[in-house]
Structure 1
Amino acid sequence: MIGINWHRTVVGRLLALFAAAVLILGLASCGASPAELPNSKNKSGSATAQVNKISEASPPEAIQKLCQALEIYQPQISILNPLPDEVLQDINVSVQFQVKDFPIFKEANLGLGPHLQVLLDNQPYAAVYDINQTLTLSDLEPGTHTLRVLAARPWEESFKNEGAFAETTFHIFTKTGDNNPDRTLPLLTYNSPQGSYGAEPILLDFYLTNAPLHQIAQENSQ
């Protein structure tokens, strides 16, 4: 317990540096309004596609330091409830997780911390900072639903180790063909970005399952 509390203190201090870096980036990018991008329409007022080059940007130093502090963890996430392929007779579902080797918490002053990102079907994720608090999926439509969970760093980047992702498919009243991915096929779970952004660097993050890209790259190099 002492080791965990000490590491939370270290991560909390690094989170303060991270928040300062985010503030600086935000102030530097205030020149562009996230609500409306420049050159998004032509002179006639019709919408036009704007294609920009994508380039990789180095993370701020504070993020690099915080990333090093979290590298010792290999999150192992499990969904205990609902059960796989379970048919439920209620439109409200309580979700339970089991988490190992991952300190989930929210730093009180900054509102940031390592957390779970929970996605239902194709809806935006919900952040979970305390697995002891009940997470309820409310007013679900009858039919099939898939719940996915990612272990995420404070800046929304997901861990990529095996076990840092979990999913389960369940049904409300009856089974349908919707929201039921084939477990034998590659699955890309999109994570970030979500929402509106200005001109600052944006994190692009996703998690791949059933797609061993590193093995394919090794085979192609031989």
Structure 2
Amino acid sequence: DFNLQLDDKTKLLTYDGSKGVLKYNWQGASAGSLGLRGQSENPQFYVKYTQSYLPQSLSSAAEAQQRGFVVKRELIRVPEGDAPRTKTPIEQPNKTFTFQMGDILEEHIQVVNPERRHFVAVSAPFAAGFELLNPNLNIASADANPTGQTTDAGDYQAYLDDKVIFYFDEMSAGSYDFYYRLKATTAGDFTHPPAEAEKMYQLEVRGNSHGARMVIEGE
């Protein structure tokens, strides 16, 4: 038997061995403790603790953080014809940007890495109303080719339905620029999560840009 201490209350948990493991679920953010009740011939036991939660606010309201990396994000509107492109840095959280169906958006992610690091991932999730234009596909149109020049795309890239990821086995100290294009395909109000850079096996070393809101208006 075990004593589970939660919120100054003690709950008795009994394990009979019939199901292999003893499970207990609870809701809330309270800290607790677990210990054996009474004496046991084998006082050693293994505990696995898992936690799931929902954020208190949307990721569009997330503020930029610098915990080893500096990450900035810039939106570049790509007009038709020879009209000049408009560049808008995301300089504050929860700012709203409005697009029309069919608009082409070039994103610029800048990451500053102050020292040489290994196993780094640069991830740029984007709003659900956009479709990624992957220039590596054989059927890709000219619109998929960004005008900006990516400094170093890393050792491996993942072009997914909801994000672009650049993986580095080794990232030297310096400033890195990443460019890719999106197309507005679905009308609505969407969350544009922050871009992130992190050490894959040391997650406390990270950084992210501000989050934003994307409004796509129908034709």
TM range (shorter): 0.3 to 0.5
> TM-score, normalising length from structure 1?
0.34
Structure with bigger helix share is 1
Return the index of the structure with the highest Cα Rg: 2
Higher relative contact order structure (alpha carbons within 8 Å, sequence separation ≥ 6): 2
